[in-house]
Structure 1
Amino acid sequence: MLRLWPFRLLRQQGSLPTTHLPASPPVVLALGFLSLIALGTVLLKMPFATRSPISWFEAFFTATSSVTVTGLTVIEPATVLSIPGQILVTILVQIGGLGFVTFAVLAAITLGKRISLQQQALALEAFNQTSVSRIRQTAFSVIKIAFTIQGVTMLWLSLWWGRHMDFKDAIYQAYFHVTMAFNNAGMALYEDSLIGLTHDPISILTLSLMIALGGLGFPVIINILRKKRWQRLSPYSKIIILGTLTLNLLGFLAIWLFEHKNPSTIANLPWYEQATAAWLQTISSRTAGFVTMDAGSMRDSSVLLIMFYMFIGGGSLSTASGIKLGTFIVLIAAVISYLRHREEVVLMQRTVSPETVQKSLSLVLITFSLFFMGLLFITIFDKLPLRSVMFEVMSAITTTGMSFGITGELSLPSKFVLTLLMFAGRLGPLTLVYSLATRRRSRIRYPEGHFQVG
C-alpha cells in the first residue's frame, strides 16, 4: 500500500509544506467515488436524463455501475435513458475508468496550482507510483493516450458504420461503444449487447482491441510507446503482454471448442461468425462485459472459464478490475518457486519481493471473501439458481458487467449487495480494507512457531 516516507524526506528538505493528512489516501479515493456516484444519481433522476421516470434506487444503481465501470443494469439504457442521459452515463464511465484523481491532478496542473502533500499522496495511491516526480507525467500520459486511442477509433468506426446508417447516428454509436469498450464498462445501445455484430468481424476486432488496450494498463502502454522495441521493455510489461496473449488465445480456443456445437449459442452460425463471437466473448470476459453469446445459454464449462477470467481481470492501473493479471502471475511464480524449493520468487530474471507476494495473496483472499459473502447474502434474499447468482456476484465484484439477465429480478436488498460489491471491486479490496484500518508497524517481535499447513 501507500508509503509516505518520500513525503517525510521532502518535508525535511523544505520542498513541501508540513501539512498533516486528515485522512488516508484510500479514504479520500473512496469519498471521491461516492461523491461522483451521488452526483450521477441526482442527475440521472432528473427528467432530462430519461424517457420514462425511474426510481431513486434505479438511478443510484446505474450511477454506481457507471462510475465503477461495471455495466450491470436494472434498466435498459437504450430505451429508458434519453440521449443526454446516455451521454451522462458515458461521462461517468470515462471518469470512473480513467480515475477521478487523474482529472483532479490534471486540473490542478492546468490551473498552475502547486500539488499539495495531500494531493500527491492521493495521486500516488491512485497511480500506484512511489515517485513524486512521476505524478504529473503519468497524469498527462494517461489522459493523452486514452483520448487519442478513443478518438482515432471513434473516427474509424464512424466511417465504417456510416456506410449503412445516418452518419450522425454512426458517430454517436461509435462514441458510446468505444467509450464503453476502452473503459471496460460493457453497456451497449442494443438489447442483445453485441450479438448482432458477429457477422461484422471489423467491428468485433476493433472493439475487442479497445477492450484489450484499456485492460492492458497504462504503465505498459506508456512503456511500449517510449521503448518501442521488445528487448527494451520492462520485465513487468513483457510479463503482462505475454500473459494477456496467452489468456486470450487459450480462452478463445476453449470457448469456441465448448460452444461450437451448442445450438443455443453459436452452433447455427458460420465458422467465421463462431470465431468472432468466441473471440469477443473471451476478450470481454476479463471485466469488459460485452457479450456475443447469451451467457445463460452457455455450457457450464464456458461459464466456469469466464468466471475464472473475470476473477483475474486486467493489468494494474488499467480500466479493468479483478485481482489483476500481475497478481495472478506473481502467485503462479510463487507456487513454482515453492515446488522447486527456491527461496526467492523469480519472474523474468527479477526477484519478486516478499511484500509483493503477500499483497497478492491478501488481494486474492479478500476478493474471494467478498465474493463468498455477496453470494451468501443474495442466496438468503432470493431463491434463484446458484449458477446464475454465482455469475452475477462474480461479475459485480470484478466489475465485469456480464449477466444471466437476473439483475432486474433480484430483490432490493440483493441489488444493494451488488452495488456494494461493484464499489469494492472498483476501489480495490486492499484499498478498501486500508480505508477501514490504518496500517501500523509493531516493534514487538515474537519467536518463530511451527504451524501445520497443507
Structure 2
Amino acid sequence: MLRIYPKRPTPQLAPPLVLILIYAGLIALGTAALKLPLATASPITWSDAAFTATSAVTVTGLVVVDTGSVYTFFGQTIVMMLIQLGGLGLMTFAVLILSMLGLPVGFTHRLYLKEDLNQTSATDLLALTRVILKVVLLCELIGAVLLALVFVPESGWREGLWQSLFHSVSAFNNAGFALFPDSLSHWVGNPVINLTIPALFIMGGLGFTVASDLWRKRSWRHFSLHTKLMLTGTVALLAWSTISFAMMEWTNPGTLGQLAWSDRLWASWFQAATTRTAGFNTVEIGNLSDGTSLMFMTLMFVGAGSTSTGGGIKVTTFIVLMLATIAFFRRRATIHVFGRELGLEQVMKVLALATISTLLVLCSIFMLLLFHEGDFLAIAFETVSAFATVGMSRGITGDFDSAGRAVIMAVMFVGRVGPMTLGFLLATRRPSRIGYPAGTVYLG
C-alpha cells in the first residue's frame, strides 16, 4: 500500500538575514572585482580591496588607498556601482528589474523589500520603488550637469564628465567617496560645489519616504508625521551645526582661520551639512579643535533620515528621544507632536535602537584601543564615523592593522544594515504565558 507523507514545508530565511547575506555577497563580489589587475593602477592587497568594497557598499567613504590615483577607470566604475547598489538597496533594484520585465513580484520579495526600505507595511511598495527610481535618476542627473560646470573646464570633457557623474552618485548616496586626495578642499569657496553637493546628500539623506511625500503631495498640510519631523529636524540641525562650526573654528588657522571671509562662510555651511551623512570635506578634519570634533561625533551619531542612504540612529529617532524626555519631565504619559500621538511601542523601539547603537560604538572603541595605540579622540571619531557610515576621518584610517581594519569593516557593515535589523534577527518572539505583579525600581 502506497503511503503519501505530507510535504515538509521548506524552511525560509528571515528577511533581515536575507538582506544581510545579500549585502555580504555584494561586498565579496566587489572585493574580487577590485582585486582584478584591470581595476588598479598599482597592486593592492586583498585587505585594501575588501576595505574599499565594504566602505562603498555601506556608503561610508573611509578609504585606505586613494580612489582617484590607485584605481583605474574600471576600478572607479566598480566603486561607483557598489555605492549605487549599496545606497539604494539591492532589493529595490531587483524589484525594479522584475517590474520593468513584466514579471510578477511575489509576496516574499515584497517582504524583503519592506525590510530593505525599512517600511512597516508591504503595501504600495512597488509605487514607492518607482518613485525612488525617478527621484534618484533626476537628482543624480541634475547634480552631474551642475558639477560639470566646474569639473569640465578644469579637467576636459572626458575626465570632467566622469568626475561629475562619480561625485554626483557619491553625494546623493551619502558615500563621501571623492577622486581627489584632499576630497573637495580645492573648491572650498566655489558656490557651485558648495550648493550642488550638499543639495544632493541632503536630498538623499532625507529618506525615500520623505522624497515620495515631496514628489506626490507637495503640501505641508498633507505631509505625513514622519516627513514633518524629518524636515523640521533637518533644518534645525543644519542651522545649529553651521552657526556652531563657524563660531568654534573661525579663528583656527588649521581650518577656517587662513581662509577669506566669504570662504569661511561657505566652508562652515558645507562642513556642517556634510558631517551628519556624507563625509566630504573642504577643510582639514585632522585640524579640528577638540570641541568641534565632539560636536561632529554627535552629529554623525544622529545621522540622516530613515529609509535614506545615510546612517546613524536617524534624525527622527533623536527627535522622539527628546520628545520622550520632555514628556517625562512634564509628567505626560503620551507624546504629542504635530497633532499626532506616538505610541509606547515606537518609544521602546527608539530606546532599543539608541541603546544598541551606543553599546556598539563603545565596544568598538574599546576593541580598537586594544589593537591600535594612538590618539583616543581620533579613534573614537573614526569609530563613530564608521558606525554612522559618514566616512569622515582625522587621518588614521590607513594606520590600522588587519585586526583594526576588521573592526572598522564590521562597524560599517552593522551601521549600514542597521542595529535594529540584527536585533530583530537575533531576538525570538515568544509570547509570555506567565504574568507577574508590578514592581518598583528607584531610578536616577
Query: Scaled by the length of structure 2, what TM-score is found?
Result: 0.96
Identity of aligned residues (%): 39
C-alpha distance after superposition, 1:145-199 (max 9, x if no partner): 1111101211222134323331222211111111111100101111111111112
Show the counterpart of 2:212: 222
Cα shift at 1:132? 2.8
Cα shift at 1:111? 2.7
1:62 and 2:52 equivalent?
yes
SS in 1 for 2:38: helix
Show the counterpart of 1:129: 119
CA contact (8 A) 1:19 1:117 kept: no
Show the counterpart of 1:71: 61
Show the counterpart of 2:425: 435
In structure 2, C-alpha distance between the alignment counterparts of 1:61 and 1:354, rounded to whole Å: 40
C-alpha distance after superposition, 1:210-267 (max 9, x if no partner): 1110101111111112112222222221121111011001100100111110011111
Deviating more after overlay: 325-334 vs 292-301: 292-301
SS in 1 for 2:197: helix
CA contact (8 A) 2:146 2:192 kept: no
* Amino acid corresponding to residue 145 of structure 2 in structure 1: L
In structure 2, C-alpha distance between the alignment counterparts of 1:175 and 1:21, rounded to whole Å: 43
Show the counterpart of 1:295: 285
Structure 1 297/206 Cα, relative in aligned 2: closer, same or farther at 3 Å?
A: same
CA contact (8 A) 2:198 2:273 kept: yes
From 79, 82, 85, give the equivalent of 2:75: 85
* Amino acid corresponding to residue 328 of structure 2 in structure 1: Y
Cα shift at 1:128? 2.4
* Amino acid corresponding to residue 340 of structure 1 in structure 2: R
CA contact (8 A) 2:388 2:415 kept: yes
Alignment of 1:322-337 (within 5 A): 322-337=312-327
Alignment of 1:149-164 (within 5 A): 149-164=139-154
Show the counterpart of 2:236: 246
SS in 2 for 1:162: helix
Show the counterpart of 1:106: 96
Cα shift at 1:133? 2.9
Cα shift at 1:295? 1.2
From 13, 21, 25, give the equivalent of 1:23: 13
Show the counterpart of 1:345: 335
C-alpha distance after superposition, 1:401-428 (max 9, x if no partner): 0011111111110110000000000000
Structure 1 262/134 Cα, relative in aligned 2: closer, same or farther at 3 Å?
A: same
In structure 2, C-alpha distance between the alignment counterparts of 1:281 and 1:232, rounded to whole Å: 33
C-alpha distance after superposition, 1:380-411 (max 9, x if no partner): 01110101100010011111100111111111
Structure 1 161/58 Cα, relative in aligned 2: closer, same or farther at 3 Å?
A: closer
SS in 2 for 1:404: coil
Show the counterpart of 1:261: 251
C-alpha distance after superposition, 1:86-139 (max 9, x if no partner): 011010000010011101111222233322232121111122223333111111
Show the counterpart of 2:3: none
Cα shift at 1:440? 2.9
From 353, 359, 369, give the equivalent of 2:359: 369
Q: How many residues align?
A: 437
SS in 2 for 1:59: helix
CA contact (8 A) 1:313 1:398 kept: yes
Query: Scaled by the length of structure 1, what TM-score is found?
Result: 0.94
SS in 2 for 1:169: helix
* Amino acid corresponding to residue 381 of structure 2 in structure 1: F
CA contact (8 A) 1:72 1:407 kept: yes
In structure 1, the gaps of 5 or more residues are 1-17
Cα shift at 1:140? 1.1
CA contact (8 A) 1:286 1:310 kept: yes
Structure 1 346/20 Cα, relative in aligned 2: closer, same or farther at 3 Å?
A: farther
In structure 1, C-alpha distance between the alignment counterparts of 2:125 and 2:349, rounded to whole Å: 23
